[in-house]
Amino acid sequence: MAVRHLRGIADVGVEGLLRLLDLTDHMAEVGRRANPKVPALRGRTVCNLFFEDSTRTRMSFDTAAKRLSADTMTLAVGSSSVNKGESLRDTVETLEAMGVDAFVIRHRSSGVPWRISEWSDASVINAGDGWHQHPTQALLDLYTIRSERAARGAEGFEGLRVGIVGDIRHSRVARSLTEALGLLGASVLHIGPRTLMPPTPLAPSTDDLDAALADLDIVYLLRMQLERIDSAVVPSGEEYSRRFALTPERAGRLGEDVLVMHPGPMNRGVEITVDPARLTGSVITQQVTNGIAARMAVLFDLLGGVDTDGGSAAVGSGVVGL
């Protein structure tokens, strides 16, 4: 089924997630070549539209596009007046007039990619909107889970027990990952204090990390924004760490094959007080590496198919490039 946008996990569904994971395998292989670049998206233009600073994600997308030979434009609006949103539509329409096939959008406000997809004919890829969705992060996380578990002799997502620890309420990473894991049959537990949970739970939740730890296959730590501590959502960073950080003591109780993940950047001393390099289960660096391949897969899936005005055949119809 042809997918035009990746704004949220719902845009692709189970079938799309599995297809993207398989494509990521190919892209990871490209990344291991002496010349990690393929001509697949020659002549396509990808515009990185970052209304919120995120050097890491922007570079990951930019590298992904370049490895597929797409042309890239980058507009890092950051804190300028456009960030207030007064001329979002004008900005998008101006850029589109320059010939953009896909917008990669990061914005501090939830929902902006949905609005832009109404104003533009280009594909829209959500690189993080407000507290809402961050689907490429979820994809790279799923890919990391799949490949790292395969390396440890385990397969599939069905029945996998994933604990997401920390600020669920304000986390687009948690929303996308919870939704994606749910679609794939994993069971997700949200772990954190009530003040950091969404008003209506998106998954079963607990505030007892120590009790939950024994029953997890994956511990996914979220970044704890220090400004949340300032706004009295939790009493102090120290108390947060005591209750919810991965401490050396807690790490010691993790099973052999339990994976430890984090979307980065880490707040060492807040959500993690153990050196991840000393954790056998840490796959945090693999997450970063896989980010490029996952984003290549998304770009190729959206832009490498049949031109939307080119006829009836759908991507994935089974005809193989022979």
Binding stretches for other proteins (CB under 8 A) = 22-23, 25-26, 28-30, 33-41, 68, 84-89, 107, 109-112, 114-115, 129-133, 170, 172, 175, 198-202, 300, 304-307, 310, 313-322
Nearer to other proteins, 202 or 257 (CB): 202
Give min distance, CB of 134 to other proteins, in A. Answer: 10
Concerning whether 280 is annotated as a catalytic residue, the answer is no
Nearer to other proteins, 130 or 257 (CB): 130
Give min distance, CB of 274 to other proteins, in A. Answer: 30
Concerning whether 66 is annotated as a catalytic residue, the answer is no
Give min distance, CB of 294 to other proteins, in A. Answer: 15
Concerning whether 56 is annotated as a catalytic residue, the answer is yes
Concerning whether 134 is annotated as a catalytic residue, the answer is yes
Q: In what helix (H) or strand (E) does residue 17 lie, and over which residues does it extend?
A: helix 13-31
Q: How many CB atoms lie within 10 A of CB 270?
A: 20
Nearer to other proteins, 86 or 215 (CB): 86
The phi, psi pair for 268, rounded to 5°, reads -65, 135
Residue-by-residue DSSP string for 226-276: HHHHHTTSSS-HHHHHHHHSB-HHHHHTS-TT-EEE--S---BTTTB-S-G
- Give the three-state DSSP class for 74: strand
Cα 288–145–128 angle (5° rounding)? 50
Concerning whether 106 is annotated as a catalytic residue, the answer is yes
What are residue 103's DSSP bridge partners?
47, 124
Catalytic residue among 67, 106, 190, 295: 106
Nearer to other proteins, 118 or 208 (CB): 118
Give min distance, CB of 5 to other proteins, in A. Answer: 13
Catalytic residue among 45, 57, 144, 178: 57
Nearer to other proteins, 13 or 305 (CB): 305
- Which residues touch 45 (CB under 8 Å, ≥6 apart)? 70, 71, 72, 73, 98, 99, 100, 101, 102
* Contact by Cβ (8 Å): 184, 142: yes
The phi, psi pair for 204, rounded to 5°, reads -55, 145
Catalytic residue among 134, 169, 190, 228: 134
Amino acid at 187: S
What are residue 126's DSSP bridge partners?
105
Give min distance, CB of 194 to other proteins, in A. Answer: 13
Within 49-171, residue ranges assigned H as helices are 55-67, 88-97, 112-119, 135-151
Give min distance, CB of 17 to other proteins, in A. Answer: 16
The candidate with the shortest Cα–Cα distance to 63, out of 268, 291, 256, 266, is 291
Nearer to other proteins, 263 or 276 (CB): 263
Residues serving a catalytic function are: 56-57, 84, 106, 134
